[in-house]
């Protein structure tokens, strides 16, 4: 199916999506969908006109997450949602008047509505009938918090790779959900410069890196995700993890560990900040 990248490189990142999943689940799981209103179908890909009829009447059995995609599971199939760069799903009373950029409502039998707001319209809604999968979910690597991800896995996959390690761990075919923010933080904590070729890092250092990726993502999820200008949670409040960032967005400032100036460069067209003293 042409036209779909492996994974949209956009914020919110994995912790923000997981925070949204956890916020929605208590209000939506077990509820029947009464109706779906699509006010603006022109998202990153046009919303299928058949979506409202397919989802209406179905009971939401679970809300799962795969990489940065939310999957609302029903007996007839799954609704796959990507929040894009500025999208949010909020829980509101069904009678709440729509505001600007409120594009899609999923009305629940409880009297609540899951409302999708997206100023940039870069998100997506796809209906996957039955057990069907989708090209956007194909070829994705393991979840960084799952059993299939560890240092041994990273070391094995990295052999012979010349790309910078930051590019390597941000590749969704290697591991999903390690975006720019969390890659920078994890590499700092592991003491690895983001420029180092992935194939020139020892197994022990990959074990440390995998552990820090897990820890950083877990901490971000626990604190509601990273504060980004466009992200707000289901309750309308942003996360607070950004207050604890070591390097991301701090180019030219002092390293909080050693005091040396943090250096900023571009790796694969992305801003990268690191400490020349702490990271080798």
Contacts of 135 (CB under 8 A, 6+ apart): 1, 4
The domain over range 151-275 is classified in CATH as 3.60.20.10: no
Contacts of 246 (CB under 8 A, 6+ apart): 185, 188, 189, 255, 256, 257
Query: Residue with structure tokens 């626990």?
Result: 222
120 is in an annotated binding site: yes
Q: At what angle do helices 14-28 and 203-222 cross, to 10 degrees?
A: 40
Q: pTM for the full model?
A: 0.86
Q: What residue segments make up the domains of the chain, in order of their start?
A: 14-137, 151-275
In 3D space, the residue among 34, 22, 39, 43 whose CA is nearest the CA of residue 91 turns out to be 22
DSSP 42: B
Tally Cβ neighbours within 10 Å of residue 37.
14
In 3D space, the residue among 174, 71, 82, 175 whose CA is nearest the CA of residue 132 turns out to be 71
Task: Spell out where the chain has E strands.
Answer: 33-38, 62-66, 69-73, 77-82, 88-93, 102-108, 112-117, 124-129, 262-267, 270-275
DSSP 128: E
Contacts 24+ apart (CB under 8 A), 255-262: none
What is the pLDDT at residue 116? 96
Query: What value, to the nearest 5°, has the Cα angle with vertex 268 and ends 252 and 177?
Result: 90
pLDDT in tens, 118-164: 999 999 999 999 988 899 999 999 999 999 999 999 999 999 999 99
Main-chain dihedrals φ then ψ at residue 250, nearest 5 degrees: -115, 25
What is the pLDDT at residue 227? 44
Q: What is the mean pLDDT of each run of 10 residues along the chain (280 residues)?
A: 34 84 94 98 96 98 96 97 91 93 98 95 95 91 95 98 98 95 96 98 98 95 62 54 80 97 95 97
139 is in an annotated binding site: no
Asked if 193 contacts 169 with a C-beta cutoff of 8 angstroms, the reply is no
The C-alpha atoms of residue 202 and residue 60 are separated, in whole angstroms, by: 45
Residues with catalytic function: 12-13, 68, 270
In 3D space, the residue among 110, 73, 94 whose CA is nearest the CA of residue 102 turns out to be 94
What CA–CA distances, in Å, run from 228 to 150, 185, 240? 28, 15, 9
* CATH architecture assignment, domain 14-137: Alpha-Beta Barrel (3.20)
């Amino acid at each position: 199916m042409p036209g779909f990248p492996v994974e949209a490189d956009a914020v919110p990142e994995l912790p923000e999506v997981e925070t949204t999943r956890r916020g929605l689940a208590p209000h939506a799981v077990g509820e029947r969908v009464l109706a779906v209103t699509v006010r603006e179908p022109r998202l990153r890909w046009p919303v299928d006109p058949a979506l409202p009829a397919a989802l209406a009447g179905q009971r939401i059995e679970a809300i799962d997450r795969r990489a940065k995609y939310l999957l609302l599971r029903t007996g007839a199939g799954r609704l796959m949602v990507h929040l894009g760069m500025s999208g949010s799903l909020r829980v509101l009373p069904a009678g709440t008047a729509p505001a600007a950029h409120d594009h899609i409502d999923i009305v629940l039998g409880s009297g609540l509505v899951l409302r999708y707001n997206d100023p940039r319209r870069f998100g997506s809604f796809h209906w996957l009938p039955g057990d069907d999968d989708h090209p956007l979910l194909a070829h994705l690597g393991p979840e960084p918090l799952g059993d299939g991800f560890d240092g041994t896995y990273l070391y094995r996959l990295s052999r012979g790779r010349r790309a910078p390690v930051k590019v390597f761990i941000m590749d969704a075919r290697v591991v999903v959900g390690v975006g720019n923010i969390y890659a920078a933080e994890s590499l700092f904590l592991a003491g690895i410069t983001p420029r180092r070729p992935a194939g020139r890092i020892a197994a022990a250092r990959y074990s440390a890196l995998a552990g820090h990726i897990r820890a950083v993502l877990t901490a971000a999820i626990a604190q509601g995700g990273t504060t980004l200008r466009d992200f707000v949670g289901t309750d309308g409040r942003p996360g607070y993890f950004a207050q604890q960032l070591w390097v991301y967005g701090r180019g030219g400032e002092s390293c909080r560990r050693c005091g040396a100036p943090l250096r900023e460069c571009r790796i694969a067209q992305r801003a990268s900040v690191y400490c020349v003293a702490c990271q080798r």
